[in-house]
Structure 1
C-alpha cells in the first residue's frame, strides 16, 4: 500500500474520538486527586500557598522572573484574592471530576492548578508535577464524552443532527477529534517517559544495584505511617531484594511491554499494586493516586467497562 493510500485508510480513524473511556478515567482520577489534596490541606492552605507562607510573595516573584511560570496569585497578594482562587480550584476540580461543562471546568482546573503550584513550587513532589502536566493536557481532550454529567445531559436532550450544521461544524468537530487524539498520545508518552526515566535513573544508583534501596524508606520516620508493617517488610532481606529489583525491571521494561497487550496489562496490575503499597507504607496517597490516574490511559477498554458495570450495578442496588 502506498503512503497516500495508508493516509487515506487511517484518516477516518484519526477523525474519530479515540479512547473516550480512558480519557474519562484520567479526568476523574486527576481531578479527584487534586480536589482531595486541596480538601485535606484546607486548614494549611494559607501557609502553603497564601499570605502566611514562609515562601513569601516577594521571594516567589524573584523565582517567577527566572522561570517565567504563570500564576494568577501574582496579580494580588491579598488574602481574599487567594481565598477566591483556592475556592475556584475546589469547585473546578469537583466540576471536572463530575464532568459538568467539561471544556470550561477543564480550563478553570488547569488555571488553578498552575496558579497554586507555581505560587510555592517548593512543597510539591512528583505526583504534583504529574497533575500539573495532565491538567494542561486535559484541556485539549474530549474527556467528557462518557462518564460525565455532560454525556448524561446530551443523552437526555440530544442536539440537532451534525449534518444540519453544515461543513463548518463538521470541520470543527474533526479538528477537535484530532486534537483530542494528539493530546491522548501526549499523555501516553508522558507516562512512558515517567517510568522510563525513573527506571533508568534507578539503574545507575548503587542501592538499587545491590538490591537494598527499598529498605531505607521503610525505616525513615517521615515515611512510616505504619511502623510495625514497615518493619515487617523491611526486615526481610529476600523481600527487600525482590521489591527493589522488581521495581527497576517493571519501570525499565514498561515502554517495551507496550508491544504486547498481555504483558502491558500484567505490568499495569503490578504498577497499580506498587502505587497502592507506596500510598499505604510510605504515606504518599496523593502521589500514588496521581500515578494511578495517569496509568488509566493504558487501561483496556474492556476492563474499564467492567468497572462501570460493577459500580453501576451496586449503585442501582443501593437505590
Structure 2
C-alpha cells in the first residue's frame, strides 16, 4: 500500500507541475525568435523575386494552384484573389507578422498572423523550398499553443515596466483581427480547420481579458492559466518530438542508401554545381577522401543517435554543438542558409536553460554598450508576457487580483 501511495503522490506532484508551470520559457522564446527571423530574412532575401516564387509571374500559375488546393483543402489567403495588389499586401503583412513575432510584440496575435503568412505563401507554391520551409511550416502551427513571449519579448518588457497600466492597443487589435477573420470566413473556400483554430484563439483572447477584469473571481483566471500551461507544455513536447523525428528519419533513410553506406555521399553532393556556391571550397573539401568519409559517417551517426542522447544531458549537449556546427557548415559550403537557420532554430529547443540565460545576459549587455546605456539592468528574461492567453502575470505568482490585462498579444 505504501508503494501505491508513493506512486499516487508522485503522479499528483507531476500533474501539479504540468498544470501550474509553463516549462522551457527560454527554449520557447529562442525558437520563436529563430523561426520568425529565418522566415523574415527569407522574405527579404527573395523580395526581388517574390512574383516568380509566389506571385502572378511564377510558373505555378494561380489557376494551377487553385485547382491543386481545391483538392487538398490547404489554407492560403492568396487564393482569394489573383490580383497583384492583393499579393503585395499579403507578402508585406507576412513580413511584418514575422518581425512582430521576432520582437515579441503582441506575441499571441503575431503567432497567429505568422502562421497565416507562412501557410499562405508556402501553400500557394508548394514546389519552392529547400527543406527548411517544411520545418517552418510545421513549427508555425506548433508555436500557436506555446507561451513563447514570456521572456525576451516586448510584451515581457511592457508588463515589467508598467504592470498595472490598462491596455488600449489590445482591444483595438482584437476588433481589427476579429473583423478581418469574419471577412476571411465569408471569403474563404478552403482551409476550414485553420479558420476554426483562429476563431478559437480570438475567442480565447476575449475570455482571457474578461477573466482579468477587476471584481472577477479568481477561479476563471486559474482555469484559463491552467489550460494555457497544458497547451504550452504539450506543444513544447510535440516540437521536441518533431525534431527527433526529423533526425531519426533522416538518419535511417541515409543508412539505406549505398552512397552513405560506402562513405562517399558527401563527395557526390560537393560535385553538384547547384550546391557549390564556392567551387574552390567544395573542391578542396572533396579532395580529402578520409575527411569526406568521416563527415559522411559522422552525419549518419549523429542523426541516428541524437534522439537516444536525450536521456544523457552531457552527451546531448555535445551532439547539439556538433549538429549546429554541421548546419552552419551546410549554410556556407552548400549555400543553404535558410535551411540551416531553420534547423538550428529547431535544435535550440534542446539548449540548456543555463546557457540561454547566460546568452541573454551577454546580448543585453552588448546592446547596452552599443546604445551607450549605463547601469545594471534586470535580466532580460524577467517579467511576464503580459498579453493574451498564455501570459504569465505577476498576480498569477502571488495569487493577488490585479488590474485589467491585455486583450490581444
User: For this structure pair, what is the TM-score category when the shorter chain's length is used for normalisation?
Assistant: over 0.9
Q: 2:161 aligns with which of 156, 163, 169?
A: 156
Q: When the two structures are aligned, how many residues end up with a matched partner? A: 319
1:84 counterpart = 2:89: yes
Q: 1:142 aligns with which of 136, 144, 147?
A: 147
Q: Distance in 2 between matches of 1:147 and 1:312?
A: 10
1:24 counterpart = 2:29: yes
RMSD: 1.5
Q: 2:248 aligns with which of 192, 196, 208?
A: 196
Note the C-alpha offset of 1:129: 0.2
Higher RCO structure (Cα 8 Å, ≥6 apart):
2
Q: Which runs of 5+ in 1 are unaligned?
A: none
Note the C-alpha offset of 1:67: 2.2
Q: 1:304 aligns with which of 356, 375, 391?
A: 356
Note the C-alpha offset of 1:9: 1.0
1:103 counterpart = 2:155: no
Post-superposition Cα deviations, 1:27-84, rounded to whole Å, max 9, x if no partner, equal 0000000000000010111111111111011111221123221111111111111111
1:269 counterpart = 2:321: yes
Calculate the TM-score normalised by the size of structure 1. 0.97
Q: Distance in 2 between matches of 1:54 and 1:184?
A: 38
Note the C-alpha offset of 1:164: 6.9
1:12 counterpart = 2:16: yes
1:251 counterpart = 2:256: no
Judge conservation of contact 2:132–2:343 (CA < 8 Å) in 1.
yes
Match of 1:315 in 2: 367
Note the C-alpha offset of 1:5: 2.5
Larger Rg: 2
Q: 1:125 aligns with which of 110, 118, 130?
A: 130
Q: Distance in 2 between matches of 1:249 and 1:159?
A: 53
Match of 1:231 in 2: 283
Judge conservation of contact 2:37–2:102 (CA < 8 Å) in 1.
yes
Match of 1:169 in 2: 221
Q: Distance in 1 between matches of 2:253 and 2:40?
A: 31
Name the stretch that deviates more: 173-182 or 163-172: 163-172
Match of 2:344 in 1: 292
Post-superposition Cα deviations, 1:76-98, rounded to whole Å, max 9, x if no partner, equal 11111111110110100000000
Q: Distance in 1 between matches of 2:115 and 2:44?
A: 17
Judge conservation of contact 2:270–2:276 (CA < 8 Å) in 1.
yes
Note the C-alpha offset of 1:210: 0.1
Note the C-alpha offset of 1:7: 2.5
- Superposed structure 1 runs of 4+ greater than 2 Å apart: 1-7, 159-165
Q: Distance in 2 between matches of 1:59 and 1:119?
A: 10
Match of 1:94 in 2: 99
Calculate the TM-score normalised by the size of structure 2. 0.76
Q: Which has the higher helix share?
A: 1
Q: Distance in 1 between matches of 2:126 and 2:274?
A: 20
Q: Distance in 1 between matches of 2:215 and 2:350?
A: 36
Match of 1:279 in 2: 331
Judge conservation of contact 2:76–2:124 (CA < 8 Å) in 1.
yes
1:178 counterpart = 2:216: no
1:73 counterpart = 2:78: yes
Q: Distance in 2 between matches of 1:47 and 1:188?
A: 34
SS in 1 for 2:220: helix
Q: Distance in 1 between matches of 2:215 and 2:319?
A: 46
Judge conservation of contact 2:130–2:336 (CA < 8 Å) in 1.
no
SS in 1 for 2:60: coil
Q: Distance in 2 between matches of 1:126 and 1:6?
A: 42
SS in 1 for 2:247: helix
